[in-house]
Amino acid sequence: MKLQNQSSVNRWVWISLGVVFFLFIVAQIVSFSIDRTQLHLGEKVGIVSIEGAIFSSKKAVKELDEFAERKDIKAIVLRINSPGGSVAPTQEIYEKVKTLRGIKPVIASVGAVAASGGYYTALGCEKIVANRGSVIGSIGVILEYPVAVDLLKKIGLRFETVKSGEVKDMGNPTREVTKRDREVFQSVINDLHRQFLNAVVEGRSLDKSIVEPLADGSVFTGEQALHLGLIDILGTFENAIEIAANLAEISGKPKVIYPKKERSGLLDYLLGNAKQTASSWFQVTPAYRWQWEK
């Protein structure tokens, strides 16, 4: 009888231990799934990073939207370290930043470079902070694509193209570039350049006659850019955070919050790099991109 009771007790002990272990595992999973930044008390400054070439606006726009909606985040610093990128994604980030004016202060902080599209995204911010040696500017547009006619002739390969209009296959690397191709592409580049120039005029409150001589693709140091009116303040990333906190009237040292990182596998990383490399080889889309030829 005693053995039977002891067996029953042991069984309940093991069941209890199993339940406790199960609840512990569930608690751990839940704790990792919660955005821990939400648990920090106090008013915060959110950091949105623009790193590298701009091929997509999805991540930056999503992070700006999330920080705009959070009541605990009182200001945003747009940390820029980019030589530019595709036109449309650049403009989407710029327009999103502009919509936050009057809602939350957004300060641009330039790292090593904010050129072309990188500088364009900063123009929507209330203030632009850059280091003395940051590379700023490259106000301009570029379009390039390969012409492989001579190579194809050497290997004895040719392509037959059926098209509905004379310039429907503009940028096709298998044929020579025509005068009409150049005229159409130049027209597009000129209009995009006009849009960029107007964004600088508006964002920096400068006269068009001042901006036009600077909009030839030239780059400037942070010190030069300050003198030319292209940025507001010489300072570090930390200085930009302090400025954002002051504009948001945050008392004391502000807490800094970064967006929750999205996990990606090795295959995603490799495919992403391959996509960007291929895009740079066969880019027929105009881009706000600074090219530093070594």
**Which entry of 49, 57, 82, 116 is annotated as an active-site residue?**
116
For residue 26, being part of any structural domain is answered with no
**Which entry of 168, 208, 253, 260 is annotated as an active-site residue?**
168
What element of type H or E holds 207? none
For residue 44, being part of any structural domain is answered with yes
**Is 16 labeled as catalytic in the residue annotation?**
no
Q: Has residue 293 got a pLDDT over 60?
A: no
For residue 2, being part of any structural domain is answered with no
How open is the CA angle 111-115-117, to the nearest 5 degrees?
A: 115
For residue 17, being part of any structural domain is answered with no
Residues facing 73 on adjacent strands: 44
For residue 4, being part of any structural domain is answered with no
Q: Which DSSP letter does residue 256 get? A: E
Burial of 63 (0-12, 13-18, 19+ CB in 10 A): buried
Q: Has residue 167 got a pLDDT over 80?
A: yes
pLDDT of residue 19: 59
Integer Cα distance of 208 and 194 in angstroms: 11
Residue 254 is part of which domain span?
Answer: 40-289
Average pLDDT over residues 93-99: 97
What is the percent of the chain with per-residue pLDDT over 90, rounded to a whole number? 71
Question: What are the C-alpha distances in Å from 110 to residues 48, 133, 250, 272, 291?
Answer: 12, 10, 22, 25, 18
3-class SS of residue 251: coil
For residue 35, being part of any structural domain is answered with no
**Is 58 labeled as catalytic in the residue annotation?**
no
Beta strands in 145-184 (DSSP E): none
Q: Has residue 10 got a pLDDT over 50?
A: yes
The domain spanning residue 104 has which CATH number? Answer: 3.90.226.10
DSSP string, 61-112: HHHHHHHHH-TTEEEEEEEEEE-EEEHHHHHHHHHHHHHTTTTS-EEEEEEE
3-class SS of residue 109: strand
Q: Which two tokens stand for residue 50?
A: 């623009």
Average pLDDT over residues 15-22: 61
For residue 34, being part of any structural domain is answered with no
For residue 151, being part of any structural domain is answered with yes
Integer Cα distance of 127 and 139 in angstroms: 18
**pLDDT digit string (tens) for 185-201?**
999 999 999 999 999 99
Q: Has residue 26 got a pLDDT over 80?
A: no
**pLDDT digit string (tens) for 107-161?**
999 999 999 999 999 999 999 999 999 999 999 999 988 999 999 999 999 999 9
Q: How many domains does the chain have?
A: 1
